[in-house]
Structure 1
Amino acid sequence: MRIIRHYKHGDPSVLRVEETDQPSPGPGELLIRAEAIGVTYAEVQRRQGIPIGGHADLPGSPGGDVAGVVEAVGENVTTVRPGDRVVADVHHGAYADYAIAQASFAITIPPRLDAAEATLLPSPAQTAYHAIKEAGRLAPGETILIDAASGGVGHLAVQIAKAMGAGQVIALASTPAKLEFARELGADVVINYTDEDWDEQVKLATGGRGVDVVLETVGGDVLDKCIQLTAPFGRVVFYGSASGTMHRIHPLAFARAKTFTGFALYAMLYNKPEAVAAGQADLLQMILSGAVRPVVHARLGIEEAAKAHELMESRAQLGKIVLVP
């Protein structure tokens, strides 16, 4: 079978297609014949040598969200069986014809979703959902600020926030096309964060009060300004650093009873399985009802993994980039 690996850090050209033996599932695992593989920005950063989640190991074989058919299951797996169509987050070796996943992470694909759309269910949709609900504690009528609002997670967060009853969704993006995309998905206010006065535009949109919840994944100056824009008793949820830049934050920045919360989906998966299961059911209902629409920007072959990473680095995508074996 084919698999994508890299033996050094660098630009997308370090990704190479190799032939290897088909793996076998161990206890608690399943083998998925991949129909679609979701590409994440975290794997772009690991390929560059930026340790996301504490590692950027070599040799590298990117992880991702793999949708397809269960080919085999390991011992003690009773929740799925061969022939089922599932999608699961795969830590390593996701860019391949076959991938191993933890059975406990597998989500059954609803008949109405194709495999590429289904790749948004594990990491992107659950990250957006739980960052808003569990970490951000968004209440109906509150205002939420979402940056990178046109990306794989962000475009879902805009829709999920609206479905949860947000009073005002303010979307940040970097181009007119991305801003229009966020508006079409339901954002009430769209602002280009490359404008020098984008923070003043947020203040104007909230009547000077600021926002109740921030979903922040850029870091650097954007994070600094987002903290300043948070209203008293507001919550800043930080779930990534796409800029690769982090500044020191003084504790007095939170003196107005603001809360800063870091978020990682794995913390939910390993520590709050009941909340994850409830969130999956709620998300599927949102999607099947049409309240949330997963958007696939591009479908590329496995051998085009480098092109997929180039697209991610260009920040041009509207929605998710997917590899299709």
Structure 2
Amino acid sequence: MRTIGQFRLSEADALTSTVQEAAEPTPGPGQLLVRTEALGVGLGLLRMLRAQRDTRSAPVSPGGEMVGAVTAVGEGVTGYGVGDRVGGVVFDGLYAESVLALPALVSPVPEDVPAAAALALVRGGLVALGALRAGELTTGRSVLVTGAASGVGHLAVQLARAAGAERVVAAVGPTAAAEKAELLRGLGADAVVRYPDEDWGAPVDLVLGGVGDDLVQRGVDLLAPHGRLVAFSAGGGSVDAGSLLGGLKTVTGFSVGLLSRERPELLGAYREELWRFLADGRLRPVTAEFGFAELDRALALVAARANLGRVVLLP
């Protein structure tokens, strides 16, 4: 099988890597072997490679999201068999034509869903829908989404519209802003604002914080009285507690990883809902697709914050 390794990231965030042949792994007890159809490329990979570069640490074997078909089952595995189509997360060895996966970290994928679209939903869709539910969005309320053209953000815009939001505002960075605005309005956004803009418009009831950093406080400042910000970005950020008091505002966090351990049945319900939204046309995943040997180009798009939707490798 083909695999990608020997990752090196330059000071300018340019990636070099090597496509090489390797023996196909054999699943051990409690493992699945999955022949991959689609692999995710995102900020998590960029952060990992930057950390390796800056600390000169040991070579990395990145993990992330994948979609594919089960080709072998390890001893003791129940619930999955050869030929089943699955999507989920692996912790390492992602960039290969076959990967080892744990049954608890994957879920069934409908046979009729294209691989790239499925990859966009298996985790990004859960984050978008879960964040909206954590924000208790109801019909007639307003929402602003930061990182709105990202793999999660563009799904959140559509899901907010499907949930009956009265007004959906999409916030994006300055890179490729015109293309992002056109896309997001086509997906249901009523307005598109840029991070550098001084005025983000009227207050909103809910902010989905997909970027972090200074945009967290700015999102809180935009909340209407009794409004809520849901933070789900690894970018961090801080909030002045005093800015919450006068308007009875709240800030909460959302994590798919924690929910998968504490409320797996809830994530299962979210997955079923996402596949229904996809089937009836209320959800349209947008993807930027690259060949297996084009990881450098795919990551460059992510590093430039110029991607529209989810960036995907197709082995």
1:324 aligns with 2:314: yes
Partner in structure 2 of residue 192 of structure 1: 194
The answer to whether the 8 Å contact 2:148/2:171 transfers is yes
Are the counterparts in 1 of residues 15 and 299 from structure 2 also a CA contact under 8 Å?
no
Structure 2 counterpart SS, 1:119: helix
Counterpart in the other structure of 1:180 = 182
- Aligned counterparts of 2:276 and 2:238: Cα–Cα separation in 1: 40
Partner SS, residue 312 of structure 2: strand
Q: CA deviation at 1:40?
A: 2.1
Q: CA deviation at 1:162?
A: 1.2
Deviation at 1:99, TM superposition (A): 0.9
Given the two structures, how large is their TM-score scaled by the length of structure 2? 0.90
| Residue 2 (structure 2) pairs with residue 2 (structure 1) | yes
Matched, 1:136 2:135: yes
Deviates more, 1:270-279 or 1:95-104: 95-104
User: What are the Cα deviations for residues 220-260 of structure 1, in whole angstroms up to 9, with x where unaligned?
Assistant: 33222111111222211111155xxx554322122132221
Alpha carbons 1:179, 1:192 under 8 Å: kept: no
* Structure 1: unaligned runs, 5 residues or longer: 51-55, 204-209
Structure 1 window deviating more from structure 2 (167-176 vs 22-31): it is 22-31
Number of residue pairs matched?
307
Name the structure 1 match of 2:151: 152
What is the match of residue 294 of structure 1?
Answer: 285
| RMSD, matched Cα | 2.2
**Could you tell me how far 1:138 is from its partner in structure 2?**
1.4
Which residue is equivalent to 1:261? 252
Which secondary structure state, in structure 1, belongs to the residue aligned with residue 96 of structure 2? coil
Offset at 1:262? Answer: 2.1
Taking the aligned partners of 1:105 and 1:241, their CA distance within structure 2 comes to 20
Change (3 A) 1:27 1:254: farther
Deviations 1:278-324 (A, max 9, x none): 11111111111110011112x22222111111011112211111111
Q: Map residues 41-190 of structure 1 onto 2, 5 A cutoff.
A: 41-49=43-51, 58-133=58-133, 135-174=134-173, 175-190=177-192
CA distance in 1, matches of 2:79, 2:101: 13
Which residue of structure 1 aligns with residue 211 of structure 2?
218
Code of the aligned partner of 1:306: D
Superposition map of 1:264-279 within 5 A: 264-279=255-270
Q: Secondary structure at the match of 1:112?
A: coil
Whole-angstrom CA distance in 1 between matches of 2:223 and 2:165: 15
Letter of the 1:89 partner, please give it: V
After superposition, the C-alpha distances for 1:125-164 in whole angstroms (9 at most, x for unaligned) are 111111111x212122211110111111111111111112
Residues 1:285 and 2:276 aligned together: yes
Deviations 1:157-190 (A, max 9, x none): 1111111222211111230110110000011222
Q: Bigger shift: 18-27 or 76-85? A: 18-27
Partner of 1:306: 296
- CA contact 2:217–2:240 (8 Å) conserved in 1: no
1:268 deviates by 1.3
Indicate conservation of the 8 Å contact 1:7/1:58, yes or no. Answer: no
Q: How far, CA to CA, are the matches of 1:267 and 1:257 in structure 2?
A: 27
Look up the equivalent residue of 2:294 and give its one-letter code. Answer: E
Please give the per-residue CA displacement for 1:192-212, whole angstroms capped at 9, x wherever unaligned: 2232x1xx2322xxxxxx211
Q: Is the 8 A contact 1:4 1:61 kept in 2?
A: no
When residues 292 and 99 of structure 1 are mapped into structure 2, their CA distance, relative to the original with a 3 A threshold, is same
**Counterpart in 2 of 1:206?**
none
5 Å matches for 1:29-40?
29-40=31-42
Query: Structure 1 residue 58: deviation in Å?
Result: 3.6
The counterpart of 1:236, out of the listed 229, 233, 239, is: 229
Cα distance in 1, alignment partners of residues 5 and 249 from structure 2? 43
Q: Matched residues in 2 for 1:253 and 1:239: separation?
A: 20
Q: Is the 8 A contact 1:5 1:62 kept in 2?
A: no
Structure 2 residue identity aligned to 1:279: Y
Q: Deviations over 1:6-36 (max 9, x none)?
A: 4666434243334333222233321110111
**Is 259-268 or 12-21 further displaced after alignment?**
12-21
Q: Against the structure 1 CA distance between its residues 311 and 131, is the aligned structure 2 distance closer, same or farther, given a 3 Å change threshold? A: same
SS in structure 2 opposite 1:127?
helix
> Which shifted more, 214-223 or 11-20?
11-20
Structure 1 pair 315/247, CA: closer, same or farther in 2 (3 Å)? closer
